[in-house]
Each structure stands twice: as structure tokens, then as C-alpha cells.
Amino acid sequence: MVAATDFDALREQVLQCTACGLCNGRRHAVFGMGARPARWMVVGEAPGEQEDRQGLPFVGRSGQLLDAMLSAVGMSRQDDVFIANVIKCRPPGNRNPKPEEIAACSPYLMRQIELVKPERILVLGRFAAQTLLGTDATIGSLRGRMHQFAAPDGRNIPVVVSYHPAYLLRSPVEKARAWQDLRLATRG
């Protein structure tokens, strides 16, 4: 029963969740962190090794890049942004999440969006984009324009799709496009 849960109870549910097999290998479930209410919500894929150790989202190298990107548009995770992932527990060896893991975990994200009430959502990477927008389209075809997320409470929240920071670390040439995406997210 995720739907009626308040923020603290939702966090407790996530920290104790056993809805899929990923709970067996985790050190910590990673609920998310940041401002509340938030101007933006940033949605990533799943915790990596550092996140699993610390119980916080985007604290490894990808997180450093994410913080630098947010800072470039005058935003911070302390004051403006709530950061969460589609999947709250680290997949072994950082493998891709399985459809049944996404199905088990995404109700938590939906309730987080309802409670955080962001003005805008920035989704990073294919899994987050496909989960939020209910599509199997590629990042390349989704980025560059505003989408709408129909929140469970009936609000339409503008969504911008961009590359995952881990991908940008491997392909720095794409940072120029990621910058365009950030600029798009700051508009309007």
C-alpha cells in the first residue's frame, strides 16, 4: 500500500522493502534526498556501489558530475532539487534492472513525485525515461523537447530527458547535448 503513505512512512517502506530479489544483495536501499518541495526532481536509474554503501543517491563519480551540471544552472540538491532513482536497491554488478524489478519498485517513485511536487522532472538515461514516459523509445529520440508526466494526483509535470551522467563520463563529447537539455529544463 504505497498510495496513501506520507513521506517518512514511504522512506521506511523503501528501507525495509522486500518486493523483489534485489533486497538480498543490498547494504542500503537508497530512498532519495534533496529539497522538499523541490523545483526539480532528478530521476536516475539505480544505486551503484557508492550509493549502496552510503544509502544516498548519486554520491559516486556520476553524482559529482550531476552536482556540477546542476550548479551550472544555479541549482543544488540541498536547496532546489530532489534526487531519486527508479530502482532503490543496487542491481548486482550494476547490471540493467529487470522489468519485474522496475514494476516492483516504480510505485515508490510515483508516490515520491506526488509528495515532492516538483515543477519539472529531469530524467537521466534510458531506464528512467522509459519508465516515466511509458515508452521504449531511445534517449536520442526523446531528448530535445518537453514531455509531460501525468502524475497520479492529476497534475501534468513537464519532463526533460537527458543522458545519464555515467554515459557522459564515458562519452564526454555528448556533454554539449546534455547542456542543451539543462537549458531546455530551465526554460518556461
List of E strands, the chain: 33-34, 40-44, 81-85, 120-124, 147-150, 156-162
62 belongs to the binding site for ligand URA (CB under 6 A): yes
182: Cα within 13 Å, side-chain hemisphere: 18
19-62-150-18 Cα dihedral, nearest 10 degrees: 10
When binding is defined by CB under 6 A, the residue of 2, 17, 20, 47 that contacts ligand URA is 47
Options 34, 44, 91, 97; binder of ligand URA; rule CB under 6 A: 44
Beta carbon nearer to ligand URA, 95 or 155: 95
118 binds ligand URA (CB under 6 A): no
Binding letters toward ligand URA, positions 162-181, x by CB under 6 A: ----x---------------
Contacts of 27 (CB under 8 A, 6+ apart): 52, 53, 55, 90
Q: Which is nearer to ligand URA, 44 or 104 (CB)?
A: 44
How far is the C-alpha of 6 from the C-alpha of 14, rounded, in Å?
Answer: 12
Residue 32 binding ligand URA, by CB under 6 A? no
Indicate whether 34 belongs to the interface with ligand URA (CB under 6 A): no
How many C-alpha atoms does 20 have within 13 Å on its Cβ side? 20
Answer for which of 13, 20, 41, 45 binds ligand URA (CB under 6 A) is 45
Applying CB under 6 A, the residues found at the interface with ligand URA are 44-48, 51, 57-58, 62, 85, 166
